[in-house]
Structure 1
């Protein structure tokens, strides 16, 4: 069956006119639209600054001065008739750019190919699982379209390389800030007995379980929770009932620093705390926090301006 073709309709406006424009579109029958607004974007960044060290300059530039509304109609006679009805009485000019349904939903897949990481791991998109895996490699199957955490970012690769070295076969692993589950699932694939994982985003729970299932890992070996170990004492107490041979945190410096005061509660004797997501200019600050909280840094890896640190109590 031929793919449906779409038009992406964009109306530029101002903050002062935004509410009125949205109200008119709704009155005209538009059932769903997206708003892109620089001020909302800045507010979002400010309210969530603890989750990143910096924001890409190109993204900031792209959002500068932006206030616009987008919606979609099919690129055919019916869609153009619908477009005319939806924009009736609206003075703002608009653009309508062709957007194929296949491009919209699936074209990103061509940019995601199997990737070797470290000495052992081989990350494979789930839709390519039938392709042969190089001899001696441990496959890790993921659906990167589900959420963040595909293995392509330098900070994740640094953590995966550390995993190869510090995963203890037959011993448990804890993944703090698990995202897609890539790190804890990799540890299980490398022989960890079982794993617990936690993320502040509730959506990560289902995503991690789905990616685990792609790798033949069931809930008998994998437990994923939603919550924040920095402010949820009950969650910390629950996780600390077990001691782990490896504790992972691929987050950002502003979370790892306070987390370093709690990490020891999860660690078994001789366990490793492996943290990444640290921009190089803050690595010394993170290392100092680890040392202050009784975690001795014994390994530092760097890649493309990012740093991972491995520490023991």
Structure 2
């Protein structure tokens, strides 16, 4: 299968703004190329002692994403083009020029290996399947091996990191958990590593349904500990009924605001009284929208956490 690579030329100062807009449009796999020097935190996350000398930062950045060939992909590119023109009216995004090229699926998958390296979130080490070492480092309590393949979710993005931190804090042994929008299955794997008894995962993308069991097996998790369901629990009544009658102890949803708003009333019906709802994927300026919706449907807010441009809200069912 051939994919079209869409590359946007912009400024480093507009990276977060454009990334946020793309994420709101449902584009979650974004490559960022710039020459901003790495911070000490970034260097530690890369687990290498000597870094190559980079080019001088000239303020230029490139943001890239991939679409499948076809009418839907072309329509998405056109929508991105229109959004960039709209941004130019109130923000300096530089050229905002779009370039396209083609790549085969296997090349697209292998390209991620250049950017995804093992890193830690507290006592959790997340490592790509093609890297070894560091697994015995002091202070590591759990290791998750992940290969995102064509289903996104490595844990490195702020939204996933926030969701993982919520899991680390609230998951208890024997919990039954629902993860909506599972991607590569990383949140479900983390929950099981931290003691959950069973995880049900849903996603709209067939590639996520294919990738999740592969990653589960890679982490030595047996099939009786999880199930993966294809579908939309908001719109599909049969799937909605199935999860609504489960009585979950905790639900995670790392999804954009526009989906969290109609999803939240569904989630409250899937949880036991006192159940925990961990949301992420919320742009900071949209915190009030989600907070209001969560409270309206019967949750008390336990905490709101921010990282970069993103936020996570954790609620408990009253």
Give TM-score, length-normalised by structure 1.
0.69
Matches within 5 A, 1:112-123: 112-117=116-121, 119-123=122-126
Assess, with a 3 A threshold, how the Cα gap between structure 1 residues 181 and 59 changes in structure 2: closer, same or farther. farther
Contact 1:125 1:141 in 2 (8 A): yes
| CA displacement at 1:242 relative to structure 2 | 1.6
**CA pair 71-288 structure 1, distance change in 2 beyond 3 A:** closer
Unaligned runs of 5+ in 2: 1-67, 82-91
- Residue matched to 1:41: 76
Q: Is the 8 A contact 1:122 1:133 kept in 2?
A: no
How far the C-alpha of 1:227 sits from its partner, in A, is 0.4
> Take 2:231 and 2:223, find their aligned partners in 1: how far apart are those partners?
18
Choose which of 135, 141, 144 in structure 2 pairs with 1:132: 135
**TM-fit CA distance, 1:255:** 0.7
* C-alpha distance in 2 between matches for 1:296 and 1:160: 20
What SS does structure 2 have at the residue aligned with 1:249? strand
Q: Deviations over 1:69-96 (max 9, x none)?
A: 7589xxxxxxxxxxxxxxxxxxxxxxxx
Equivalent in 203, 207, 211 of residue 207 of structure 2: 203
Q: Secondary structure at the match of 1:211?
A: helix
1:179 corresponds to which residue?
Answer: 183
Check 1:70–1:293 CA distance in 2 against 1; reply closer, same or farther (3 A cut): closer
Does the C-alpha gap of structure 1 residues 60 and 212 become closer, same or farther in structure 2, counting only changes over 3 Å? Answer: farther
Residue 58 of structure 1 and its aligned partner are, at CA, apart by: 7.1
Residue by residue over 1:15-66, the C-alpha shift from the partner in whole angstroms, topping out at 9 and shown as x without a partner, is: xxxxxxxxxxxxxxxxxx96899963345669xxxxxxxxxx9799242xx6
Distance in 1 separating the partners of 2:281 and 2:232: 17
SS in 2 for 1:127: coil
Contact 2:109-2:150 at 8 Å conserved across structures: no
| The one of 66, 83, 96 aligned to 1:61 | 96
- Which runs of no fewer than 5 residues in structure 1 stay unpaired? 1-32, 47-56, 73-100
Aligned to 2:310: 306
Between Structure 1 and Structure 2, whose CA radius of gyration is higher?
1
Q: 1:203-249 CA distances to partner (integer Å, 9 max, x unpaired)?
A: 21111111111111121111000100111111011112321111000
Once the two structures are overlaid, the 10-residue window that deviates more, 104-113 or 169-178, is: 104-113
Whole-Å separation in 1 of the counterparts to 2:156 and 2:299? 28
Secondary structure, counterpart of 2:130 in structure 1? helix
Tell me the alpha carbon deviations over residues 138-171 of structure 1, each in whole angstroms, 9 at most, x when there is no partner. 1011013342111111011000011100111111
Q: Secondary structure at the match of 1:299?
A: strand
Match in the other structure for 1:108: 112
Contact 1:34/1:70 (8 A) holds in 2:
no
Query: Cα offset for 1:106?
Result: 3.1
User: In 1, Cα distance between the equivalents of 2:131 and 2:209?
Assistant: 24
Q: TM-score, normalised by structure 2?
A: 0.68
**Residues 35, 215 of structure 1: alpha-carbon distance in 2 compared, 3 angstrom cutoff:** same
Change beyond 3 A, Cα 1:39–1:111: closer
Instruction: State which of 141, 144, 169 in structure 1 corresponds to 2:148.
Output: 144
Per mean C-alpha deviation after superposition, the further-off stretch among 212-221 and 274-283 is 212-221
Aligned CA distance change for structure 1 residues 240 and 40 (closer, same or farther; 3 Å): closer
- Match of residue 49 from structure 2: none
Q: Given that residues 257 and 289 in structure 1 are in contact (C-alpha distance below 8 angstroms), is that contact kept between their aligned partners in structure 2?
A: yes
Count of residue correspondences: 240
